[in-house]
Amino acid sequence: MLLLLIISIPIVEIYLFIKIGSQIGALTTISLIFLTAFVGILYARYEGFNTLKSGMSQIIKNELPVYEIISGAALAFAALLLILPGFATDLLGLLIIFPPTRKILFKNVSKNYSKKVKEKQNFIDGDFEDIEEDNDRKF
């Protein structure tokens, strides 16, 4: 599966380069790639600082900033996608950077993850009794 993904991403990107480049020109295509990378990185930095501020406010309230931690990791991944040249990776990176789409993605992933975790959990129900060690009682 991973090998298929590694092979298919460059194929899709090359196809998009050819199609878009034939429509708007080679220089414009290259400029657009650099522009999306630059603007995306700036916006990822802005969103990263917002996530950091939100996480600090959660810590001040003595709450665990779970969403902010996951959001920060997603923003780092989105910035990586924006640095990589290509239109498909830029589109995916921009979708991850924008907070509304990021929340939708997290909601879908967390639903799928919680279903899998519930299916895998096996519990053995039982009772226990604390036994204090007495010198008189031997097993």
- The Cα–Cα gap between 116 and 66 comes to 19
pLDDT digits (tens, 9 = 90+) for 9-64: 899 999 999 999 999 999 999 999 899 888 888 888 888 888 889 889 988 998 88
pTM value is 0.70
The backbone torsions φ and ψ at residue 45, rounded to the nearest 5 degrees and listed phi first, read -65, -45
- The Cα–Cα gap between 84 and 10 comes to 11
Q: Answer yes or no: is pLDDT of 136 > 60.
A: no
